[in-house]
Each structure stands twice: as structure tokens, then as C-alpha cells.
Chains A and B, each alone.
Chain A
Amino acid sequence: MPDFNQTRTILGSYLSARVPLIVIRTIETDRAMDVVRSAAADLRSLGYYEHSRTEGLKDLLNGQVVEDDTSLAGALENARVTFKARSNVNFVFTDVEDIDQETSTSRHLAEMVRLAERNSGSIILVVAKPVWSGLGRLGMSVSLDLPTTEEMAQRLAEIIDEHAQIVRIEWQHSDVRRAAEILTGMTELEAVNVLMTLLTKRQLLVSDIPVLSEYKDNIFGELSGLERIHLRENYRVGGLRQLQQWLKRSEFRMKEELGSSPVPPPKGVLLVGIPGCGKSLSAKAIAHNWHLPLYRLDMAGILGMYVGQSESQLREALEAAERVAPCVLWIDEIEKALATGLGDSGTSKRLVGQFLFWLQESIAKVFIVATANDVASLPPELLRKGRFDEMFFVDLPDRNDREEILRMYFQKYTDTDISPVLGAELVDLTEGFSGSDIDATVRDIAVSMRIKGTAMLPPDAEVRDWFADVVPYSRSNPEDVSAIRAWAQGRCLVAGSPSADFDPGIGGIRRRLIV
């Protein structure tokens, strides 16, 4: 994840190496230009020009307009003559359109890069989208990610200092830091806009900090159709060991620097399974454990009223997710909008296609956790190998898992460690229970304790009764459970513990049939 300083260092090395094309990927052009100026200031013996479609050509370091010609073709002609006349010159271009594919513009740029190369010149492109490969291959690229919390804190502190004379500032260093944490994920400009708006009240109070979250959700909410899920507690998942193990590797890949490895960042995982067994919980736990923001894409809400509306909503949502990357994108009940064959199947088909295309093309660090209950309606295209990194089947917890979950919730709600004897009995009694059934039952016990005004667990017999009274979903809907198991067999990896026939010698996770 290159931040300001890392990007600056990388850029500096490219400049020193006289790499003829340097592509800086960012959605924050101004901030990227700060990086460029800062790197250029260290290598002043080179000449630098900056071209924009609004101001024409400027001297990068002193900001003076050298020619108000805003035409890109004109500027490139200029660059051509300059490259020929002098070595070690750099031209920075911002807002260049139409270079994500092979176009006249990208071809012309490629020509100029070759000329630059012969004269130790460089063309630096500041772009939001990847450039055409025929162009990109001529040089190196570096991406500038959204401001880190560090950077955000520094920028906020600068602005706050600037206003110290005219605004009553209550924020201490730690408050600035908290504010920065909340604003992380925004562009610098958005964050500055939020802070400036607060400052107009002539006071900056500690109680203003929660307001920042609202601003953030407004900014993201308005733009996107994504809902930010606030992670408060420490999400703990019982069982699902193979899934946990697999996630460790994804986490590693997610944290690798973009472009530092030929392997693209992970795409995500599809979780199907029996209700209440921890699919949604896993989405939250992943984001929480990886310290990434969690966004929920409401698939049912994507289905709009007008033709084309759904497509544009999905596109916007996916773009927004790329913007807030790195993030975890939770798509709950993915089958709701992507089910083909129901209702307006034309729209659903297009949505599936659009989603799959994005899944394949996007190189943003958006880790998708998609969940599905009604597996029968999932479009087969979605399930083909290579779409998601992996598909997991979340089954009812086995004995070990149930014991872990039982202990977890007794600890959480009643602050007690149950005895080994009771534990073993409850593991037997909860055969067929989902994690959610166990959670709810222990919670009921805890509520009854509070009503009685005691912190003591009821006698074991009573505890057993609480569990014996529950009719879990798997018992009331056995045919649903077998149907989903039958469907998952051979298609999915088992999220839970490997069975006895699992061969640990391989080292990885083995596909196992569900019995």
C-alpha cells in the first residue's frame, strides 16, 4: 500500500533511473501532484513541465504558466521538440482522456515515450484508471493510495493549527488521531471539506468527533449504494477452521503491496450454507481481524424499477467499493439480485455478467464475502472455477465446534466457565443446533439469571432443559438441510473442521465430500 512517502520514494527512484514513462495511479490528482513536486524538488537538475487541460503548460516547480495551450496534441508536440532539444526533461500530464485502451491518444503517447527514452526524457501520467497495456509496458507504474491515518492526522493537524487563532479548539492530539481514523478511506479533499465545515462553527469540540462518521457515511452513502457496517465488538467465530486457515493466506495477499507481486489481490469468497451458522458473522470477523472497513452491498436493493437502473446502481456500487479499497465488501444473499430465471431475467443476466466482469477485471483490494442461502437459484456462471477465489460450505457445527461455541457464549453472556461434564452433555444435546441457536439459548439463560437477580448459573438440569426445549432449524426443516448439503457436495470446500479422512500431509486444504 504505497502511501505519500512510499510513492514519493518510488517515484524518485523512477526519475533517477530515467524511466521514460511513469504512470501514477490515483483518484486524487492534487495529492499525486504534491508527490510529484516533492520528488522533483529533490532532483532539481532535471526540467519539469506539467500539463493540464485547464491551464495548459506550467513549470512544475515554480507554477508559472509557460504556455496556455490546453491542447494535449499541442503539448505533446511541445514535448517532442523539447525532448529533442534537451535531455533529462520531464512532462507530467494530468487528466488525459481515453488512454485505458488503444486509441489515437494512447498510441501518440507511446510514440512520445519512445522518443523520450532516446533522449533521457520522461513522461509522467497521473491517471485514475489503468492505461492501455501497449503504453503501460513502456514504463513503470506506482499507485498512490488514499491517505493513511498517519497522513490524514498530519493534514488535519495542519489545518487545525492554521485556525487556532479564530476557532476554539478542544481537540487534543489523541482526538485528532481518532478523527483521522474515522476519516481514513476518504480522499484528502473530502476529509478537508468535512473538517472545514466543522470549523465554521468557530469551535471544534470532542463531541464533534462522532459527527465525522455521519459525514463519512453521507459521502459514501450518497455516492454509492454501499452501507458502511460499523464494527464495534470483537467478533469471534467458533469452528469454521478450514475457512479460517484459508483466510490467513488471503489476508497475507490482501496486505501485500499492489503490483509488488504478479499475483493480483484476492477477489473473495462465497459462503453458502445452513442458516445461522456464521456466514454473516464471518464477513464481520474478517473485516475486524484484518482492520479493514466493512461495506455491505444490498443486492436486493440493486434491483431498480427502470430498465438499466439496476446496472448503473451496481456499477456505481462497485466503483465506490474500489474507492474505499482496501475494504471488505459483504454481499449478503447474493442470489437475491443475481438469480436468473425469475422475474426480469434479462436484467438479472446482465447483472451477473456485469458483476463477473468486474470480479475478473478489478485489481482493487476489495475482498468480497458473498453469502447465499438459496443455492438452487444461484446462476451457474457465478460458481465456475476462478470466479471467487473459493467457495465454502458452512455446515452445522460439529461436536468440537459446538463445544467451542457453547463455551464462548457462556463466557460472554454469563461470565462462567461451564464444567467439563455439563459441557459434554450440552454438546450432545445441541446436535443439529446452529451457532445462532446456541447463541440464542445461552442468551435466554442469561436473561433469566438477570431477572432472578443472580450471577449464578442455574443447576445443570435446568440448563439442559433450556437446550432440550429448542427445536433447531435442522430438525424442523431436515429436507432443506439435506438439499443444501447435497448441492454443496463436490462444489464447495468445507468451512468447518476436516474429517478424520483428511490428509494433513498435503499441507493445504483438501476438497472433501460432504456426507
Chain B
Amino acid sequence: MTSNNLLGASPYETWVRTLKAWSQDPTISLEHLPALQDDTYSPDTANRLLHAIIDAMSAVNERWLADLGRIFDNYRDPYELGRRLVQLRPAIARSMQLASHPSLPQTFRDALQSSVRSTIERNQREFEESFETTLRHSDLPKSTREQLLRTVRENSFVRALNHEAKQTGERLVAVALPEGVHDPVERQPRHQRRIIL
């Protein structure tokens, strides 16, 4: 739902207001954002808009990093850690959605997408590194440390970049849903063994 106060007098103003609101609450809708053509604005206005977008994304990323910092608060086991990591994905998917917004000029989209991608990749890398260091100094048993590290790698945030997201950042489509009838399968689809002579 788009509230009226997000709509400005000009497309530019609508974008700036929406971005401001979005940086506080990345689940608000972006559907109303008007198209921006390369030739609509002076390079100056375009630049300012780009910065507004980047600022909004940075704010979201900041908050996301704070959430990430709290992920270890009284979690019970590696599985719960993994689950919390998965729950951090929507915000990432949402940033990617803004970066890919169809109303943006292609040049913006390219630049923003690669910026989101590299931010998330860096976040993941640094998270893994600092986590590994923390673990090394902990007195947890080796097997638990390995399990935790595996959990962090297995639930990498980078995966969220490829998810098509809904408004809430939830994945739009889970897995390719086969419709109707499949190709016929054999009753014994398992690989048959043969000796090698």
C-alpha cells in the first residue's frame, strides 16, 4: 500500500520521499515509483538521485549489519543460527529489488546491482572471517566450531541475491514449479551397477 505522502510534485520528489521512507522500512511498496528516463534530468539531478538511492541502501545495510551483530544472542544450536541467517535474507533481496527497479535507467540499474552484490559479498566474507577468529578463541569443542562455521557458509547471504523477492523481501517463487505432468520416469530410476572387467 502506497501512502499519499510518498507522492511528490515531481517524479524526482516522489523518488526522494519514497527512498527516505524505504530506508526506515524496506518493506514498503516501490510499485508507485515513476519511470526516470536518462534525458529527463540534468546530470546533476541524476547524480543527486543516485546518491539518495545509495544513502537509503546504506542505511538499510547499516541496520542489517546491526541485526547480524545480534544474531548470536542466546541462540541454542547451529541449526537455530542457520535459521536466523536465512531470516536475514529478505532485507538483502529487498535491496536488490530496489537496485533492479524497472523505473530506473539501465545504467543506474547496472551500477546499483553490482554495488549491492559486492556489498553483500564483502559482508559475507568479513562475517565469515571474524566469526572464524572468534571461534578460534572460544573454548567450544572442535566439532561444534566446525559445525557453526559450516552453518555460516552454507547459509551464505550471497544466495539471497538471486532470489526474486516480494514486497516483504520474501522470495517470490520458491523453486521452479513443474506444472502438470512430468516426463515419464522409470520405476527404477536408480543408477544400475555393473562390474568393470
As a 0/1 sequence over residues 184 to 199 of chain A, the CB contacts with chain B under 8 angstroms (1 = contact) are 0000000010001001
Residue of A nearest to B197 (CB): A166
Residues of A within 8 A of B155 (CB): 71, 73-74
User: How many Å lie between the Cα of A114 and that of B80 in the bound state?
Assistant: 19
Stretch at the interface among A30-38, A228-236, A493-501: A30-38
Residues of B within 8 A of A79 (CB): 174
- Tell whether, in the assembled complex, residue B183 and residue A62 are in contact, meaning their CB atoms are under 8 Å apart: yes
- Tell whether, in the assembled complex, residue B77 and residue A63 are in contact, meaning their CB atoms are under 8 Å apart: no
User: Which chain B residues numbered 172 to 197 have a C-beta less than 8 Å away from chain A?
Assistant: 172-178, 180-183, 185, 187-190, 192-195, 197
- Tell whether, in the assembled complex, residue B176 and residue A66 are in contact, meaning their CB atoms are under 8 Å apart: yes
As a 0/1 sequence over residues 74 to 96 of chain B, the CB contacts with chain A under 8 angstroms (1 = contact) are 00110110110110010000000
- Tell whether, in the assembled complex, residue A105 and residue B175 are in contact, meaning their CB atoms are under 8 Å apart: no
User: Which chain B residues numbered 66 to 117 have a C-beta less than 8 Å away from chain A?
Assistant: 76-77, 79-80, 82-83, 85-86, 89
As a 0/1 sequence over residues 56 to 96 of chain A, the CB contacts with chain B under 8 angstroms (1 = contact) are 01010111001101111110111111100110010000000
- Tell whether, in the assembled complex, residue B82 and residue A57 are in contact, meaning their CB atoms are under 8 Å apart: no
Residues of A within 8 A of B177 (CB): 47, 82, 85-86, 89
Contact A78-B175, Cβ < 8 Å, known A159-B193, A202-B197: yes
Asked whether A261 is an interface residue with its Cβ less than 8 Å from the other chain, the reply is no
Q: Of B170, B180, B182, B194, which is in contact with the most chain A CB atoms at under 10 Å from its CB?
A: B182
Asked whether A469 is an interface residue with its Cβ less than 8 Å from the other chain, the reply is no
B141 CB to nearest A CB, Å: 16
- Tell whether, in the assembled complex, residue A70 and residue B154 are in contact, meaning their CB atoms are under 8 Å apart: yes
User: How many Å lie between the Cα of A103 and that of B154 in the bound state?
Assistant: 19
- Tell whether, in the assembled complex, residue B190 and residue A73 are in contact, meaning their CB atoms are under 8 Å apart: no
Asked whether A443 is an interface residue with its Cβ less than 8 Å from the other chain, the reply is no
Residue of B nearest to A68 (CB): B159
- Tell whether, in the assembled complex, residue B82 and residue A199 are in contact, meaning their CB atoms are under 8 Å apart: no
User: Which chain A residues numbered 244 to 272 have a C-beta less than 8 Å away from chain B?
Assistant: none
Contact A196-B174, Cβ < 8 Å, known A38-B187, A104-B76: no
Contact A199-B195, Cβ < 8 Å, known A73-B155, A104-B79: yes
Interface size class of A (residues with CB under 8 A): 35 or more
Residue of B nearest to A69 (CB): B159
Asked whether B171 is an interface residue with its Cβ less than 8 Å from the other chain, the reply is yes
Residues of A within 8 A of B185 (CB): 37, 41, 61-62
- Tell whether, in the assembled complex, residue A104 and residue B83 are in contact, meaning their CB atoms are under 8 Å apart: yes
Asked whether A45 is an interface residue with its Cβ less than 8 Å from the other chain, the reply is yes
Residue of B nearest to A80 (CB): B174
B181 CB to nearest A CB, Å: 6
B155 CB to nearest A CB, Å: 5
- Tell whether, in the assembled complex, residue B77 and residue A108 are in contact, meaning their CB atoms are under 8 Å apart: no
Asked whether A479 is an interface residue with its Cβ less than 8 Å from the other chain, the reply is no
Residues of B within 8 A of A62 (CB): 178, 182-183, 185
Q: Of B77, B151, B177, which is in contact with the most chain A CB atoms at under 10 Å from its CB?
A: B177
Residues of A within 8 A of B172 (CB): 81
B94 CB to nearest A CB, Å: 15
User: How many Å lie between the Cα of A101 and that of B82 in the bound state?
Assistant: 18
B35 CB to nearest A CB, Å: 29
Asked whether A44 is an interface residue with its Cβ less than 8 Å from the other chain, the reply is yes
- Tell whether, in the assembled complex, residue B195 and residue A105 are in contact, meaning their CB atoms are under 8 Å apart: no
Q: Of B79, B82, B83, B86, which is in contact with the most chain A CB atoms at under 10 Å from its CB?
A: B79
Asked whether A200 is an interface residue with its Cβ less than 8 Å from the other chain, the reply is yes
- Tell whether, in the assembled complex, residue A78 and residue B182 are in contact, meaning their CB atoms are under 8 Å apart: no
As a 0/1 sequence over residues 456 to 489 of chain A, the CB contacts with chain B under 8 angstroms (1 = contact) are 0000000000000000000000000000000000
Residues of B within 8 A of A80 (CB): 174
Residues of A within 8 A of B174 (CB): 78-82, 85
- Tell whether, in the assembled complex, residue B79 and residue A73 are in contact, meaning their CB atoms are under 8 Å apart: yes
Residues of B within 8 A of A222 (CB): none
Residues of B within 8 A of A158 (CB): 192
Residues of A within 8 A of B86 (CB): 71, 73-74, 77
Residue of B nearest to A30 (CB): B190
As a 0/1 sequence over residues 14 to 36 of chain B, the CB contacts with chain A under 8 angstroms (1 = contact) are 00000000000000000000000
User: How many Å lie between the Cα of A177 and that of B154 in the bound state?
Assistant: 47
User: How many Å lie between the Cα of A72 and that of B193 in the bound state?
Assistant: 30
A438 CB to nearest B CB, Å: 54
- Tell whether, in the assembled complex, residue A104 and residue B192 are in contact, meaning their CB atoms are under 8 Å apart: no
- Tell whether, in the assembled complex, residue B154 and residue A163 are in contact, meaning their CB atoms are under 8 Å apart: no
- Tell whether, in the assembled complex, residue A66 and residue B180 are in contact, meaning their CB atoms are under 8 Å apart: no
Residues of B within 8 A of A73 (CB): 79, 82-83, 85-86, 155
- Tell whether, in the assembled complex, residue B178 and residue A47 are in contact, meaning their CB atoms are under 8 Å apart: yes
Residues of A within 8 A of B176 (CB): 59, 66
User: How many Å lie between the Cα of A480 and that of B149 in the bound state?
Assistant: 64
User: Which chain B residues numbered 114 to 145 have a C-beta less than 8 Å away from chain A?
Assistant: none
Asked whether A361 is an interface residue with its Cβ less than 8 Å from the other chain, the reply is no
Contact A85-B173, Cβ < 8 Å, known A73-B82, A73-B155, A103-B79: yes
Residues of B within 8 A of A166 (CB): 195, 197
A126 CB to nearest B CB, Å: 15
- Tell whether, in the assembled complex, residue B180 and residue A45 are in contact, meaning their CB atoms are under 8 Å apart: yes
Asked whether A175 is an interface residue with its Cβ less than 8 Å from the other chain, the reply is no
Asked whether A98 is an interface residue with its Cβ less than 8 Å from the other chain, the reply is yes
Contact A81-B170, Cβ < 8 Å, known A62-B185, A74-B155: yes
A132 CB to nearest B CB, Å: 13
- Tell whether, in the assembled complex, residue A61 and residue B195 are in contact, meaning their CB atoms are under 8 Å apart: no
- Tell whether, in the assembled complex, residue A72 and residue B79 are in contact, meaning their CB atoms are under 8 Å apart: yes
The residue that B79 contacts in the complex, of A66, A78, A108, with Cβ under 8 A, is A108
Residues of B within 8 A of A59 (CB): 176, 178, 182
Residues of B within 8 A of A57 (CB): 175
User: How many Å lie between the Cα of A86 and that of B195 in the bound state?
Assistant: 44
Residues of B within 8 A of A44 (CB): 181-182
A200 CB to nearest B CB, Å: 5
Asked whether A220 is an interface residue with its Cβ less than 8 Å from the other chain, the reply is no
B7 CB to nearest A CB, Å: 31
Query: Given known contacts A69-B154, A74-B155, A163-B194, what 10 new A-B pairs fall within 8 Å (CB)?
Result: A45-B180, A61-B183, A73-B82, A74-B82, A74-B159, A81-B174, A85-B177, A86-B177, A159-B192, A196-B195
* Nearest 6 Cβ contacts at the A-B interface: A82-B174, A104-B80, A73-B82, A81-B174, A73-B83, A71-B154
Question: Would you list 7 pairs from A and B whose C-beta atoms are within 8 A, ordered by A residue?
Answer: A62-B178, A62-B182, A63-B189, A69-B159, A73-B83, A73-B86, A98-B79
